[in-house]
Structure 1
């Protein structure tokens, strides 16, 4: 390697005396022997470039090359690194900035990835070609293979790629290591998906026992390899009443935090979608909920018979005060569980809010919106009413009607489960009739796949 470098430098320098040379070491650019370091040339034209993968992001791991920089008076460039978790990216970025080392992340875009700033979708035709090459599928025709390749080329367009927001925050947000920020807007009452915890570093927005890979081998971080690139383990979910992804591989003392806006004071019931194949004889809470540091509920998921055998467990909160930017923490106990989502339903208002019930019926919330299979409708009424909720498409055709029911004065919730609607815009009509009132409230809703 040193002889090749010397030949290249000797050929270029007479023509371009100020040409800059980046010299990589041996062993995947991690070893710089005395032969490479003794190439006869002007040191001011040399940069040592190295790689750093799956090792500690702390200074001790690069002291060998810092010493070499000092001894040879040659600048350093970290020419290739990445393939790790956001917490590792954040720590290594800080280290490189502190040590005045240039850095290049590998790479800016890959197919179906969490470890790059951009992720391109896998084109179905191209995926069929890959499966054939791996021996996992039939041989496609030449025409089909060409179409798949061209389709994949189109999918690599920036407009088709998904932006991995958490990774970009780890690289560029100066507050990433100290301030948690919402990954998605969460409202209570409403649905909160476990995988949609806040943006922020390990110990800021979440705590995971294995949040990066530092053993010299790939691994660590997100063991599920899906959706996000933190230490939190996220995998595809088959929960028919849940989100497409669930948090899993949980361990004792791990936790997630969510920034939430509590819209109404009162007591809430939390429906928790969980699964586990762990600890059949163990009893006690598996998941503990706290709000701004105060414990508000707990559930025992138990052994459900499989990691994707989903059940709903419930817990009831004490009275919660309304407010924005509240911090909900979800903590895990000894049993390893999978957690998909949490649905907060208002079951009773506080006396103060009951005294403040408006003179007219009010639609408090519809969630989730956009929706896939279920919509919850929260409303209040100043007097007893009969209520019915109906859903229409944009052509005015009725597509769903909830059962008519009677409600007392106060806050209530109507659910529309089992929806299987085409993606698009729909109109909700909530019709209320009582002795002294008759009112219809409308709200647009969006259905997605």
Structure 2
């Protein structure tokens, strides 16, 4: 299957970016509301962390199905339905009379939110190939990078208007408007002739088929761990800002602005490198940036046991640059392993990444966020695992990484590799 010959609408990057922003807003905008939610329902910090963990767990579980369903019935119906149900779940959260009901609505939000992210990646690869696909992915990520910065600030401002309920009303309004825009402007990129029937047995067989492809594993690990080191700091934001930096609810930009500056800069640089440098150069540069950030975090945590602004947060810029340099290329390489089942491959990648992020938010963050040194050690370990997986993939497929373009649009090379004994 080759990318569609239909010209890509100018609205596509904005629609995909809007879909990508739902995740950061669902997580980051809620952080400033933790004290109010805890006070209203009489729950502590451990229970409040479940607002993140429950969301991520259902997000991960349903991400296994979004892509495969879109392979069967098309991309657009899956995305539109997911967004509209997410809007209903947001309204339910705003009206929740108990903490259990709030958690149930968060679970439903997570189950629907992944449709846009998972299927959106397949849309990119349906529409374009090679360097053009990486450039579109990078443009989407540049827009997406704004969300983590404005989400906690928007959440903090809404607290003075309608408490924590206003956050969920805004999420409902945003997703309703986005749903209407998708209905009007999103083209279907997966025509009926290319669709495959959805069946649990076939789905399981397809996922097992992914596992039999040896290069799939290092790519999956590297893609999944790529963001986890940075997410450790993001998910620990309430404790870093309030307990380690001793700031008020207005202090979240001190953490999120460096992250956003890094993410946007890295996405811009990734797009610039798409037609200029090879796969190996782009991803290696990304990991060099991430590893350098980890080294700076460790050094600052040792020299400054008590974090000091702005120095303790500045390495997050470098970490964000590295994440966005590596991620678009790694994702497209993974999807191109299975050109006829990109939706399913995207589902597996999203599931793996989100399960890891749920562990980071629910287990590692509570354990490590007491001290910046512990956070630095955790982020460094995760980043090194991703780098080792990338090196593993490089040794497996050296010839595919010699292309002058950052992402080779030559599906036949991947299909030939899959046919070769390993």
TM bucket, shorter chain: under 0.3
The structure with the largest strand share of the pair is 1
**Higher normalized contact order (CA 8 Å, seq sep 6+, divided by chain length):** 2
The normalised TM-score by structure 1 is 0.22
The structure in which a higher percent of residues are helix is 2
Q: TM-score, normalised by structure 2?
A: 0.23
